[in-house]
Amino acid sequence: MNVPMKPTRLLTAAAATAALSLTGLATADPMTNTLGVAMTTDAQSAPLIPREALFGNPTKAQGRLSPDGAWLSWLAPKDGVLNIWLAPRANPAEARAITSATDRPIRQHFWSPDSKSVLYVQDKGGDENFLLYSINVASGEESTLTPFENTRIQIIGTSQAIKDKMLIGVNNRNPQFHDVHMLDLNSGEITPVLENNGYAGFMADDTLTLRMAMRQNAEGGSDYFRVIDNQVEDRPFETTAMEDSLTTNPSGYTTDGSVLYWVDSRGRNTAALYAQDTASGERTLIAEDAKADIGGTIRDPKTGVVEAYSVNYLRNEWTATDPELRASLDWLDGQLDGDFGISSRTEDDQTWVVWNDPVTAPSATFIYDRQAETLTPFYVSRPELEGMPLLPMQPVEITSRDGLTLPSYLTLPVGSDRDGDGRPDAAGPMVLLVHGGPWARDGYGFNSTHQMLANRGYAVLSVNFRGSTGFGKDFLNAGNLEWGLKMHDDLIDATDWAINEGIALADEVAIMGGSYGGYATLAGLTFTPEKFACGVDIVGPSNLETLLGTIPPYWAPMVKIFHERMGDPNTEEGLALLRAASPLYKADQIVRPLLIAQGANDPRVKQAESDQIVSAMQQAEIPVTYVLYPDEGHGFAKPANSIAFYAIAENFLAECLGGRAEGLDSVLADSTAEIVEGAEYVQGLQAALDS
Helices 559-566 and 572-580: crossing angle in degrees, nearest 10, is: 70
- Per the residue annotation, which of 381, 515, 582, 610 is the catalytic one? 515
- Per the residue annotation, which of 542, 634, 642, 671 is the catalytic one? 634
Calpha distance 277→259 (Å, rounded): 5
Provide the residue count of the chain: 691
Calpha distance 16→271 (Å, rounded): 19
* Cα first-last separation, the chain: 35
Calpha distance 498→511 (Å, rounded): 13
- Per the residue annotation, which of 602, 631, 642, 671 is the catalytic one? 602
| Residue 615 annotated to the active site | no
Calpha distance 287→305 (Å, rounded): 14
| Residue 229 annotated to the active site | no
Beta-bridged to residue 674, according to DSSP, are: 628
Nearest C-alpha neighbor of 279 from the set 251, 252, 303, 259? 259
User: 295, 273 in Cβ contact below 8 A?
Assistant: no
How many angstroms separate the Cα of 180 from the Cα of each of 155, 156, 203, 400, 455? 10, 8, 10, 46, 49
User: 584, 542 in Cβ contact below 8 A?
Assistant: yes
HSE, side-chain direction, 13 A CA sphere, residue 612: 21
According to DSSP, the β-strands at 294-299 and 238-239 are: unpaired
| Residue 602 annotated to the active site | yes
Burial of 193 (0-12, 13-18, 19+ CB in 10 A): buried
HSE, side-chain direction, 13 A CA sphere, residue 481: 12
According to DSSP, the β-strands at 594-599 and 625-629 are: parallel
User: 54, 455 in Cβ contact below 8 A?
Assistant: no
The catalytic residue positions are 515, 602, 634
